[in-house]
Amino acid sequence: MVSVCFVCLGNICRSPTAEGVFRHIVRRAGLEHAFFIDSAGTAAYHAGEPPDVRASAAAKRRGIELSGRARRFEDVDFERFDYVLAMDLENLRSLQRRAPKRARCRIALLRSFDPSAEPNAAVPDPYYGGDEGFEHVLDLCLSACEGLLAHIRREHGL
């Protein structure tokens, strides 16, 4: 079982979108049995809330369901996951600061798995913008999640 956690700030926009997109791609590949997929936020302001309605609506237009309730990324999550994928550099650095020295997980930017992305490329925060920001998040997550799945399939012989 390969475990993957997507991490943004609030866990209501970007990381639930990445989680839903990755679930969708994994299911399409017939690999659901091989994965545990989750998401979390580095901040807890929205803990307990469902995904932002704008994120859910944008995903639904592409046939992707978002699920789950927001939660903070906890220290124990460094032990629970093989891949911890941050949406931007701020969240990546926040995770790296907290990670135990001997953490077994790989902590990286989600878009580092997108061969067409620049180094350090982010999935930008759509929270304070319009609907087009949520469409952009979906495009970026689709592209990066394809690369992520291809990487994991190679690395784990799936």
Contacts with ligand 4NP by CB under 6 A lie at: 8-14, 45-46, 125, 127
Catalytic annotation present for 14: yes
Give min distance, CB of 53 to ligand 4NP, in A.
12
CA distance 107 to 28: 25
CA distance 77 to 105: 9
Cβ proximity to ligand 4NP, 67 vs 79, nearer residue:
67
Residue 31's contacts (CB-CB under 8 Å, 6 or more residues apart) are 149, 153, 158
Catalytic pick from 52, 125, 141, 145? 125
Catalytic annotation present for 125: yes
| Pick from 119, 158, 134, 155: nearest CA to 18 | 134
Tokens 């994994």 found at: 26
Give min distance, CB of 13 to ligand 4NP, in A.
3
Chain-centroid distance, C-alpha 158:
20
Catalytic annotation present for 145: no
Cβ proximity to ligand 4NP, 72 vs 153, nearer residue:
72
Closest-approach residue to ligand 4NP (CB):
10
Give min distance, CB of 115 to ligand 4NP, in A.
23
Residues with catalytic annotation? 8, 14, 125
